Amino acid sequence: MVSAIKLYNLLKARIGEKEAEAFMDILEKKVDEKFDEKKDNLATKEDIRNLAIATKEDINNLAISTKEDINSLAIATKEDINHLRIATREDIHNLRIATREDIYNLRVASKEDLSNVRSELLRIIYLTSLSQLIAIIASVVSIILVLKK
């Protein structure tokens, strides 16, 4: 306030008492208006304390939420792994059954093929033997015919 009195005294000496008083009133109103504008934007200690408390609560809530999310994901992952394990076991079981069926079908088909080859081989041996017998008989008959002449 001392500097305001000094300013008033300086102005009073230069521009007169009434003008100095009017100027000081205007200056005081302007300073008060600017202060009122700025004080609404300033944070009080209570505002800062409330903000700190709210921030701590938000951080704690976020930490709790994150832990819950991680636990939920861990449980879901374990369940998914278990389902995959079961599905894999079922697939392996089904593949074993299918493989056994394929092996059985292959054995049956091989036996049939072998049986067919054996039958065909016996037929060829029989026909070859028959044709050799016919050739021998024809040779004997021709020798007899040649000897009779």
Q: Which three-class secondary structure state does DSSP give residue 120?
A: helix
Q: Phi and psi at residue 141, in whole multiples of 5°?
A: -60, -45
pLDDT for 52 equals: 94
Q: Phi and psi at residue 19, in whole multiples of 5°?
A: -65, -40
- The string of pLDDT tens digits covering residues 31-87 is 888 888 777 777 788 888 999 999 999 999 999 999 999 999 999 999 999 999 999
Cα 40 versus chain centre, distance: 50
Q: Which three-class secondary structure state does DSSP give residue 147?
A: helix
Number of H helices, E strands in the chain: 3, 0
Enumerate residues 6+ apart whose C-beta is below 8 A from 24: 4, 7, 8, 11
Amino acid (1-letter code) at residue 146? V
pLDDT for 105 equals: 95
- The string of pLDDT tens digits covering residues 99-118 is 999 999 999 999 999 999 99
Kindly indicate the confidence band of residue 23, based on its pLDDT and cuts at 50, 70 and 90: confident
Q: What mean pLDDT comes out for the span 6-23?
A: 85
pLDDT for 2 equals: 59
pLDDT for 32 equals: 84
pLDDT for 78 equals: 96
DSSP E strands: which ranges in the chain? Answer: none
- The model's pTM is 0.46
pLDDT for 33 equals: 85
